[in-house]
Copies of this chain bind each other. A is one copy, B any other.
C-alpha cells in the first residue's frame, strides 16, 4: 500500500500532467524515486539550434536532485549547463502485452519524465558527491573500490543538476484490456510475456593478473541494484 503524503506528491504542471492513459499516471514522489532508482541510464532531451536532441547518459539521484553525467567537450551539455531547459526520461520495459486484438497490444513499463532547467555543477565538493551518486547508480560499490578521480579528471567531467520538482510517472502492469467481443470470440492468445534482465558472468580485463578475484560488489550484484 502506498501511503499518501500530500507534501511529497508530485506537483503537476501543464506539461507534466498526463493526458493519455491517465489511469497509468502516478502522483507519489515515492513512485518517482523508485522508477529512477531502478534505472541505469536516462535519455536526456535538449533543444540545440531549435531542434530536439535525445542522448543516452548516466545519472544518479540524491534526494530530490537528479545528477546527469557528461563530458565538458559536448556542446549540448554545455548549453544545458548554462540553464537551458532539459527533459530527462527513464524507462523500464517490463513485458509485452499480447491482446486478442492488435489494437490492444501494449507493453508493461515504468517511466519517469522530468522537466526543468539544468544547472551545471561547478562546486568541487558537489561535483564529487554528484559523481559518487552517479557511480553508485551505475556501478554500486565502485566508489569505495576503484581509484578516486583526480582534480584534473574532475575538471574534465561535466555534471548537470536537475531539480525533481516537475515530473510525470507512468506505470502499466497487468494483462491485456481486451474488448468483450474479442474475449467471447476467443480467436487469439492473450497474456503477458515478461522481459527480464540479469547480470551475466563478470569478464576480467585481459591485463588483470589471473589471481585477482572478482570483488563482491561485482560478483554478487543483483538486478536492478
Which of chain B's residues have a CB closer than 8 A to the CB of A63?
A: none
B191 A102 Cβ-Cβ under 8 A = no
Q: Does A47 contact B (CB under 8 A)?
A: yes
> Which residues in A have some Cβ–Cβ distance to B below 8 Å?
15, 19-20, 40-41, 43-56, 58, 71, 73-75, 85-89, 91, 93, 95-96, 98-103, 105, 107, 109, 111, 113, 115, 131, 135, 138-139, 142-143, 145-150, 153, 156-157, 175-176, 178, 182-183, 185-209, 212-215, 218, 221
- Residue pair B190, A205 in contact (C-beta under 8 Å): yes
Would you give 28 A-B contacts (Cβ < 8 Å), ordered by A? A15-B48, A43-B45, A45-B53, A45-B87, A47-B51, A47-B52, A51-B87, A52-B52, A52-B85, A95-B200, A101-B147, A101-B153, A103-B147, A105-B146, A107-B138, A146-B188, A175-B205, A176-B205, A178-B205, A189-B204, A189-B212, A189-B214, A190-B204, A192-B205, A193-B203, A193-B221, A197-B197, A198-B198
A19's partner among B74, B98, B105, B146 (CB-CB below 8 A) is B74
Please name all residues of chain B whose beta carbon is closer than 8 Å to the beta carbon of A54 when the two chains form the complex. Answer: 43-45, 54, 87-89, 113
Q: When A40-B93, A194-B203 are in contact, do A147 and B56 touch as well, CB less than 8 Å?
A: no
User: Quick one: given A20-B74, A53-B87, A85-B50, are A102 and B149 in contact (CB under 8 Å)?
Assistant: yes
Give the complex CA separation of A56 and B48 in angstroms. 20
Q: Given A146-B98, A175-B205, A196-B199, are A105 and B189 also a contact pair (CB < 8 Å)?
A: no
A44 to B215, CA, bound (A): 38
Identify the closest chain B residue to A86 (Cβ): B52
